[in-house]
């Protein structure tokens, strides 16, 4: 692809370099080769510009390459431009409509002839599979499930009964959508009696779910993951939760039942959310933090239990000096004790 064409398609401005230069791929600063385009988003990697073998680079406003032999595409967001370039060089593979001979499809299921159904897929009664859907081998789809246009289910996925998957969703390997919620009542003999889990899970359009994640159905009603939300590998979403639009939930995070996660919330790795809580829009909870109370919109929370990130940073800095403080306190105690004896 010519450099001028790449600039146009990524929404950037060609600041230096030949418009006719051919760009073959996009890669990071440290691995880019001749004919590649790279990017700089984090200033700490600036020294790598001197060493990169790339032919061109996406740079944010005000950042200089410092090299005459490196073509520059000026961007409002270099990382976003690089992402668009990657998508250009690695377009999604076109599906091959049809049903593998080993697939098992109930006679009452409505499967579009424009969908691709892989080997050993099971599609149960009353399901609806729309055009452009790609279901990889060994996927199991229970009764009454609907899957919207152009969605992709990778090998090992299970979608439980009556769940709804929107358009352009991606579900990665060995994830379960609609597993039973964790609900029990203690009977008269103090034994656990399972509460029927008869609700469902709804994934709205453009949701992506990582590998080995579980999203539990509601006991009654629904668990809903709203448009554009992205959920990483190894995440647990409890029964009756709502994850709002464009939320980002990172690996090993757990949401207890009936949690409500707002728009554009970021939950970093290994975050814990207690049940029936609300995390407001645009809030951020940093890695290995947990909360047992509601979080206001826009707040950044850290620690266990979670509190304001700035206060947490100050507390962490003080914690590292506890040994020093203890020694100083002992010296003061000795001094005060000595003064008392002299009185």
* Lowest-confidence region among 90-94, 243-247, 316-320: 316-320
Q: CA separation (Å) from 254 to 64, 178, 273, 304?
A: 42, 16, 6, 14
User: pLDDT by residue (tens digit) across 3-57?
Assistant: 999 999 999 999 999 999 999 999 999 999 999 999 999 999 999 999 999 999 9
Q: Strand 300-302 relative to strand 307-308: parallel, antiparallel, unpaired?
A: antiparallel
User: pLDDT by residue (tens digit) across 181-203?
Assistant: 999 999 999 999 999 999 999 99
At residue 340, does pLDDT exceed 80? Answer: no
Cis omega before residue 305 (within 30°)? Answer: yes
Which of the following CATH numbers is that of domain 98-310: 2.160.10.10, 2.60.40.10, 1.10.3720.10, 2.40.170.20?
A: 2.160.10.10
Q: What is the mean pLDDT of residues 273-287?
A: 97
Q: What is the mean pLDDT of residues 300-317?
A: 89
Q: What is the mean pLDDT of residues 263-291?
A: 97
At 121 the pLDDT is 98
CA distance 50 to 67: 7
Q: How many CB atoms lie within 10 A of CB 320?
A: 8
Q: How many CB atoms lie within 10 A of CB 294?
A: 13
CA distance 118 to 281: 39
At 149 the pLDDT is 98
At 343 the pLDDT is 39
At 258 the pLDDT is 96
Rg (CA), the chain: 27
At 339 the pLDDT is 58
Q: Is the pTM of this model over 0.75?
A: yes
Q: Helix or strand or coil: residue 315?
A: helix
At 342 the pLDDT is 47
- The H or E element that residue 86 is part of is helix 78-89
At residue 257, does pLDDT exceed 90? Answer: yes
Catalytic member of 100, 154, 172, 239: 239
Q: For residue 239, indicate whether it is catalytic.
A: yes
Q: Supply the mean pLDDT for the chain.
A: 95
Which of the following CATH numbers is that of domain 3-89: 3.40.1390.10, 3.30.390.30, 3.40.309.10, 3.40.50.300?
A: 3.40.1390.10
Q: What is the mean pLDDT of residues 110-123?
A: 98
CA 244 from centre of chain:
13
**Residue (of 152, 147, 252) closest to 204 by Cα position:** 147
Q: Are 250 and 232 in contact (CB under 8 A)?
A: yes
Q: Helix or strand or coil: residue 247?
A: coil
At residue 94, does pLDDT exceed 80? Answer: yes
User: pLDDT by residue (tens digit) across 145-157?
Assistant: 999 999 999 999 9
At 312 the pLDDT is 86
CA distance 296 to 170: 30
């Amino acid at each position: 692809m010519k450099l001028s064409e790449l600039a146009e398609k990524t929404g950037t401005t060609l600041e230096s370099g030949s418009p006719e230069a051919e760009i073959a791929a996009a890669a990071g600063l440290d691995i880019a080769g001749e004919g590649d385009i790279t990017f700089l988003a984090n200033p700490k990697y600036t020294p790598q510009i001197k060493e990169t073998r790339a032919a061109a680079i996406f740079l944010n406003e005000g950042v200089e390459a410092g090299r005459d032999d490196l073509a520059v595409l000026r961007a409002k967001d270099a990382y976003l431009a690089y992402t668009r370039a990657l998508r250009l060089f690695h377009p999604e593979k076109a599906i091959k409509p049809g049903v593998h001979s080993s697939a098992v499809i109930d006679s009452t299921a409505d499967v579009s002839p424009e969908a691709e159904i892989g080997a050993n897929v099971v599609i149960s009664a009353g399901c609806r599979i729309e055009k452009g859907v790609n279901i990889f081998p060994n996927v199991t789809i229970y009764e009454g499930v609907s899957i919207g246009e152009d969605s992709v289910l990778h090998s090992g996925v299970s979608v439980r009964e009556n769940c709804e998957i929107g358009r352009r969703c991606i579900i990665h390997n060995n994830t379960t959508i609609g597993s039973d919620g964790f609900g029990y009542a203690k009977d008269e003999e103090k034994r656990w009696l399972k509460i029927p889990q008869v609700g469902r899970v709804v994934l709205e359009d453009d949701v992506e779910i990582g590998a080995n994640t579980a999203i539990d159905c509601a006991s009654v009603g629904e668990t809903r993951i709203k448009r554009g939300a992205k959920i990483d590998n190894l995440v647990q979403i409890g029964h009756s939760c709502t994850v709002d639009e464009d939320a980002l939930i990172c690996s090993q995070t757990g949401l207890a039942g009936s949690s409500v996660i707002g728009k554009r919330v970021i939950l970093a790795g290994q975050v814990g959310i207690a049940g029936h809580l609300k995390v407001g829009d645009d809030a951020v909870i940093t890695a290995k933090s947990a909360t047992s109370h509601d979080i206001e919109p826009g707040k950044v929370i850290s620690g266990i239990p979670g509190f304001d990130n700035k206060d947490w940073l100050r507390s962490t800095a003080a914690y590292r000096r506890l040994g020093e403080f203890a020694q100083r306190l002992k010296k003061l105690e000795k001094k005060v004790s000595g003064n008392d004896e002299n009185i």
